[in-house]
A = this chain, B = another copy of it.
Amino acid sequence: MNAADLAALLDVPLHGDGTLPVLRPCHPREARRPEDVAIAMDPALLPLLADSPARVAVVAADAVDAVPEGAVGAILGVGRPRLAMAGLTAAFAPPPPVAPGIHPSAVIEDGVVLGEGVAVGPFVHIAAGAEIGAGTAIGSHVTIGAGVRIGPNGLIHAGVRIGAGCTIGSHVILHHNASLAADGFSFVTPEKGSVESAKESGRVEATNQGLVRIYSLAAVTLGDHVEVGANACLDRGTLSDTRVGDHTKIDDLVLIGHNVTVGSHCMICGQTGVAGSAVIGDRVVLAGRVGVADHVTIGDDAVVAAGSGVGQSLKGRAVYAGTPAVERERAFEMLMLTGRLKHLFRDVKALKAAAAAGRN
């Protein structure tokens, strides 16, 4: 690829010599060769271009003229830098980390159907009746349960566990050690227990005499283009599958409880947890470390700030923060007023003193 090819691929204007070869994008400080492409879309990085051996630079469209004279041989100016990063990194993305073909150590049980071009790494176990779509790559040490169906062009990284009966769409990416379809965490006491009494009266008036297991008979269904992060857990549904809609992205260490429904185009960031039977709409953003209580509903396009605790259902198309999560302005107001409490206590003390003095 050369600079002109890259400009065409990103659909951005090129300034300078389009024939310069390009090998990989990198931070201007980390460029080692003329063929490295220095990424300096942050204006603060522009001065580094003068000392960088890279001959091609990608900068913000309005910063093209600010590139030091003669620093590089070709400049690409991009309008929306983060979107350009998507294009740039896609252009140089490595192939999936699975060699073509079926590794001889893999254990593939009876009745498994592998589509054309499926790659299977060492020590993979695919149980009876599973179907893997064409072009899907399965990394080493993956477990795929009986009857699982995975669509085409997916990438299942090393150590992923997919329990029996799951349905997974096309172009899905599952990262290291993610767990699909472990059993839901669902127990009941024969008589009313401590949690039920706490919910009713706010007090513990009953003790848990025994915990009886509710089995999870359903599985997990993922739509197309879903991504699930490393060590994340999506648990089985009880009677109906736990579901995640198309294009939803789930980060590392996220927990999606049993029976949860997540819509499409959501972003669920790192270490967030969604408890059983919650319903998350479309295009919802749950920032990092959010907790969502069981059975609540979150409307389409809601944005929940990092660290929030969602205890009640939230309407869509609004920004929420805090524990319990409330609309952002309200959360900020409470925070701001709490920060000014010292002055309030002082004022009230003065008022009391004045009142006492007035009485004398």
Contact = CB atoms under 8 A, between A and B. Distances in A.
Given A90-B213, A265-B211, A233 B231 contact: yes
Contacts of A94: 164, 217
- Majority-rule SS of A interface residues: loop
A242 to B, nearest CB: 12
A85 B323 CA distance: 32
A95 B154 CA distance: 29
Interface string A284-319: 010011010100000001110011010100000111
Given A252-B179, A285-B195, A97 B164 contact: yes
A97 B204 CA distance: 38
A141 interface: yes
Interface string A110-127: 000000000001110101
Interface stretch (A2-10, A13-21, A68-76, A182-190): A182-190
Nearest to A180: B176
A218 B161 CA distance: 26
22 contacts: A26-B239, A86-B187, A90-B213, A141-B159, A143-B158, A173-B183, A176-B233, A179-B252, A204-B301, A204-B319, A207-B317, A208-B265, A257-B270, A270-B275, A271-B271, A273-B289, A288-B291, A306-B311, A307-B309, A334-B338, A338-B338, A351-B352
